[in-house]
Structure 1
Amino acid sequence: MAFSEPMSEASEVLRRVFGYEEFREGQQEIIEHVVAGGDALVLMPTGGGKSLCYQIPALVRKGVGVVVSPLIALMQDQVDALRALGVRAWFLNSTQDPDERRTVEAAFAAGELDLLYLAPERLRLESTLRLFDRADISLFAIDEAHCVAQWGHDFRPDYLALSVLHERRPDVPRIALTATATPATHQEITARLSLADARHFVASFDRPNIQYRIVPKREPKRQVLEFLRTEHPGDAGIVYCLSRASVEKIAAFLVENGVTALPYHAGLDPATRAANQARFLREDGVVMVATIAFGMGIDKPDVRFVAHLDLPKSVEGYYQETGRAGRDGLPSTAWMAYGLQDVVQQRKLIDSSDGDAAHRRRLAAHLDAMLALCETVECRRVRLLAYFGQEGGTACGNCDACLSPPESWDGTVAAQKVLSTVVRLLRERRQKFGAGHIVDILLGKKTPKIIQNDHDTLTVFGVGTDLSDAEWRGVVRQLLAQGLLAVEGDYGTLVLTDASATVLRGERQVPMRRDPARTAPKAAKAAKAGRAAAPELPEEALPVFERLRAWRAATAKEQGVPAYVIFHDATLREIATRVPGSLAELSSVNGVGESKLAKYGQQILDALAAPQD
């Protein structure tokens, strides 16, 4: 295809500034459209190259590109990465003193910047809008656009003010971007940002380099430690927990066991949060244990795993969080421990949540979809993509359901035993109990609570000895997931639902997923299969790669920036494999643009020529 003149300029910027010869799939068409002045809504997975879709048009078009980004804490790193490429980038946010803000505003109005990042709350200030009136603006980019949608997983009220951009400057093209949007979220973004007339670009949400695995939760802190030791020793990664207390506990446990781990949650003071985030971004091999307060906009490319020790509230949240792994395209793992208590806890949170009935129904729908992903016997990737409206995929061969296919079984009789126990407790004793007590009755255990309540005289006492304690908990979990049982009250007691009667009457079958055995040889096999997909460095290139990594770490520390701002691992791997002998040869390596060649080229050649120990 012949490029138009603007596209030729965009290709030149890609090569000269960013050091790449070719656009990734989907980027070229988006960039060409925005360069020509068109509005765009872009749905593209994390790691797919969304940033270039607005950065290159901002550099090609006349004026300054304005980027609305939701996280002040990450603007400095985004700006540092662009400046390392020779791009004139700056930000405006509440961390700056008045003099610094005035300096940035003056540079913006004078057209002395290429890109300006700002937080959405600044659009509430009339001074910001007046500043826009004084400047030549090339485009408005709205990053993390799902924040505008209440159906999405990370709604931000400040994003509702973004419609003012088009109202104030209808002459400026807009590009809204997100990595997560169901059809409902897509529709809401379109309506709230008045993008019905924009071109919509929807890329595949597939992240083939990520291996999705969900394991039965037993001893989560020991399970995650084993996962790190056996599959990701020394790797950078994120461990998500639901509560602040869990974050502190898991981080301390990992540190006690020799893992470099840091906590991150909203309860920490801002200075500690900032310091921990900086260490995660700037050092190799740091594990961040965090609530979902951490992660949006994290550009660290070499996050090798994301682990969840608690069930995410939605598939969108799960996809967004797991998408922080493997942004460099290299094999990575999305691992989660999931159990009965997760379902009980999430159902209770929904019942006690603020908001009207419609809000709770929306939360319940999100949870139902997440549970369906956990309980599926089919390829997890196919199920995940179908949730985002991308149906008809074939089994990936790189998730736990493909590598170690789970068994499904007819759990109708088991379901009737559980439901009958709940019925008898309620009708005969006017009592309600949680899952553990129900399972004890079915197994015929004469615990103090059972003897005290005379429950060993119930007709269902001991009728479930055909299954183990763990298997019965799996049955209860799946009944909750399928809406055939519900949770009630602060103590998580089990009650029937409207659908329970059809099972008790034998009118409905209840298919179930059989959890794998406690031993984990299949998990190890899965991990090995994932690693096998990694492009292996030739043996002679390994010491060269490590020498380059050491040089990069020292350079990054000296400059006070994350290592990936200097060069990504993928670029160092290519240099270690090719061993260029001149600046001209080095300039042909992906990720080595003109600015970085001038700044670091000779240092790299010196590191390559240095005698080995």
Structure 2
Amino acid sequence: MSRARELLHAVFGHDTFRPLQEEIVQALLSGKDVFALMPTGGGKSLCYQLPALVREGTGLVISPLIALMEDQVLALKELGVAAAFLNSTLPPDHLRATEKALREGRIDILYLAPERLLQPRTLALLAEVPLSLIAIDEAHCVSQWGHDFRPEYRGLHILPERFPGVPRIALTATADARTREDIRRHLRLEGAATFIASFDRPNIHYAVESEDKGRQGLLRFIRERHAGKAGIVYCLSRRQTEETAAWLAAKGIPALAYHAGLPPEERAERQRRFLHEEGLVMVATIAFGMGVNKPDVRFVAHLSLPRSLESYYQETGRAGRDGLPAETWMSFSARDVALQRRFIEESPASAERKRIMHAQLQALLAYVETPRCRRQVLLAHFGEKREEPCGRCDNCLNPPRIEDVTEPARKALSCIYRTGQRYGVGHLVDVLLGRTTEKVLRAGHDRVSTFGIGRELKPAQWRRLFRQLVIDGHADIDDARHGALVLTERARPLLRGEEKFFMRVANTSSRQAKGKGRSRARADHDRADDPLAALTAAERRLFDRLRAWRTRQARLQNKPPYVILHDSALIEIAVLKPVTAQALATVSGIGDAKLARYGRELLALVKEHLNEERDTPS
């Protein structure tokens, strides 16, 4: 461990371990197998990279995506580590050179996809090489209960037989109890030392719109909170990604679309741009994300409902990997819920699998509709209890209330039934309000018993109630009838008066007062938690100068800016203003390699800034 601590500072530029990192490193150094569950941004990579450098031999890392392994190899090389990957993108001469370096012991860490690893030629090659450890990243891919099942991961059960005595570590950021058991069983890690970190990402602010705000809500969120910052917007379909990206671009937000339907070279180029350019928004399906190691994503938004809380946690976890404040935002419609339910029912999955998928959807709906602290609900889903509300999610900053709307709900369901279960929300609201529209008169719905019985609510309140009835499963949307609402079996006890119906509603304060209160709360939240917002004017000028230097370096070297230095390191330099190499070496993220490569220029920038500030009248 003494050697590990030396390399922690010399290579990675850190003086202390993050939670559980030291214990995991120590277990691997002692030759134990490990199963580690750590949140995205929690420092999983260092858990195997550091012991791979300390132990004799080459560390083998199994990663599911080419883009992810290429990004990690680039970052390791920047730290002075001899890292490489073997995948289908390598030309034959480069492939032979990498294999030769591996045989000669000149590679510290090698990245492989599971498909490449399981090829007989690769297994024969690795049999010639002393391995320090084997790391299986994104280990949830081995489980069919996980959110990103990859069948090729199942073949990794051969590792303990083919490489006996080599310690293995399986890592994931998202796995419920069932998925964890699947990982241990399929990877033969039943006896592994298990480490489960807190799922909490305290730097992430969680928010869900109470109504479907769509693109306009997204545009307002980006403009007011994250103008000029990098972000990811998740959509349900390829068409939605294309249309949303084009719409944002027309509104002045630099945005690109990403989905599996694009040609591979186009996907690769768009991902390269997202990693290399600052302030770009990627509008994507779930095809985008796992290979993204970009630490300065400041927001993740959802324009439709995610597949599950596990997916939501994984996707939102791509924000704020550098530890600086980040935000999530979600807007969804009742149609999203109906589509999810229909997808589950029409899927070829087994009855047991469908039951689990329905349970996952219900857990997600409980999260989006909860009046409680969102962080408490999210953590509880993963078996972690938080005693106190976080004080920083939307529900904590602007608490909603729950109202008994049993009678209006029964009226709404009766109206669906009395009008023949053939009409959408707009028409049903007209009937309840007693509006004599042409459509109401033509259908004869001015003569049904529910005509005009709902004047106690406004149109927006009725629409919100119908949406909630769909979300809770009392009604469904029939796309074959152009979005008509139909009753489900779940509606019967409510119509009979055997159940009550409660709905989350906004607090009773006026919209203006509510907006002011929310603005003050968010402003206090920002000042308290954002180190960038806490910079003085002079420190901000130095930070901007350092950021401009980093951008130039990234372009010269054709690397993502964050590979040069993270924003957090630039902020620390702006505050400390080091003028000696010894002082600069204390900045987190600056190890020996980066100090040798960039130290002189960084110190010159700091000194130049100090001279200018001294010569400028206050």
TM-score range, shorter chain: over 0.9
**What secondary structure sits across from 2:456 in the alignment?**
coil
List aligned pairs for 1:266-305, cutoff 5 A: 266-305=260-299
| Equivalent position to 1:197, from 187, 191, 197 | 191
Q: Which moved more, 1:276-285 or 1:484-493?
A: 484-493
Residue 534 of structure 1 corresponds to which residue in structure 2? Answer: 530
Contact 1:30 1:40 in 2 (8 A): yes
Contact 1:43 1:202 in 2 (8 A): yes
CA distance in 2, matches of 1:109, 1:211: 47
Contact 1:312 1:318 in 2 (8 A): yes
| Equivalent position to 1:153, from 147, 150, 159 | 147
What code does the residue aligned with 1:555 have? Q
How far apart are residue 225 of structure 1 and its match? 1.1
Question: In the alignment, does 2:382 pair up with 1:388?
Answer: yes
CA distance in 1, matches of 2:99, 2:26: 29
List aligned pairs for 1:35-114, cutoff 5 A: 35-114=29-108
Question: In the alignment, does 2:428 pair up with 1:438?
Answer: yes
How far apart are residue 298 of structure 1 and its match? 1.6
Gaps of 5+ in 1: 1-6
How far apart are residue 144 of structure 1 and its match? 0.9
Residue 4 of structure 1 corresponds to which residue in structure 2? Answer: none
**What secondary structure sits across from 1:138 in the alignment?**
strand
Question: In the alignment, does 2:225 pair up with 1:227?
Answer: no
CA distance in 2, matches of 1:560, 1:457: 71
Identity %, equivalent residues: 51
CA distance in 2, matches of 1:227, 1:472: 26
Q: Deviations over 1:213-272 (max 9, x none)?
A: 111344421211111111111111111111111111111111112111111111222222
CA distance in 1, matches of 2:478, 2:355: 16
CA distance in 2, matches of 1:422, 1:296: 43
TM-score by length of 2: 0.94
What code does the residue aligned with 2:432 have? L
How far apart are residue 500 of structure 1 and its match? 2.3
| Equivalent position to 2:392, from 381, 395, 398 | 398
Residue 163 of structure 1 corresponds to which residue in structure 2? Answer: 157
Contact 1:485 1:494 in 2 (8 A): yes
CA distance in 1, matches of 2:586, 2:223: 38
Cα 1:275–1:58 change in 2 (3 A) is same
CA distance in 1, matches of 2:84, 2:346: 43
Contact 2:260 2:287 in 1 (8 A): yes
How far apart are residue 400 of structure 1 and its match? 0.6
Cα 1:469–1:167 change in 2 (3 A) is farther
CA distance in 1, matches of 2:434, 2:189: 62
What code does the residue aligned with 1:513 have? R
Residue 498 of structure 1 corresponds to which residue in structure 2? Answer: 489
How far apart are residue 489 of structure 1 and its match? 5.6
Q: Which moved more, 1:483-492 or 1:32-41?
A: 483-492
What code does the residue aligned with 1:504 have? L
| Equivalent position to 1:176, from 153, 170, 176 | 170
Q: Deviations over 1:18-75 (max 9, x none)?
A: 0111001111111100111111111111111111011011111111111111111232
Question: In the alignment, does 2:488 pair up with 1:514?
Answer: no
Question: In the alignment, does 2:263 pair up with 1:265?
Answer: no
**What secondary structure sits across from 1:76 in the alignment?**
helix
Contact 1:211 1:530 in 2 (8 A): no
Gaps of 5+ in 2: 614-618
CA distance in 2, matches of 1:467, 1:95: 61
Contact 1:38 1:174 in 2 (8 A): yes
**What secondary structure sits across from 1:570 in the alignment?**
helix
Question: In the alignment, does 2:458 pair up with 1:477?
Answer: no
Cα 1:227–1:524 change in 2 (3 A) is farther
How far apart are residue 212 of structure 1 and its match? 0.4
Residue 204 of structure 2 corresponds to which residue in structure 1? Answer: 210
CA distance in 1, matches of 2:511, 2:165: 61
**What secondary structure sits across from 2:208 in the alignment?**
strand
How far apart are residue 167 of structure 1 and its match? 2.7
